[in-house]
Amino acid sequence: MTQTRTIFDRILEGEIPCHRVYEDEHVLAFLDIGPLSEGHTLVIPKERKAFLHELSDESAAAIGRVLPRLARAVIQATGATAYNILQNNGAEAHQAVFHVHFHIIPKRGERGLGVGWRPGSLDGAAGKELAARIAAAIS
Which residues are identified as catalytic?
101
Helices (H) and strands (E) in the chain, counts: 3, 5
Alpha carbons 89 and 9: distance in angstroms, whole number: 17
Alpha carbons 8 and 30: distance in angstroms, whole number: 11
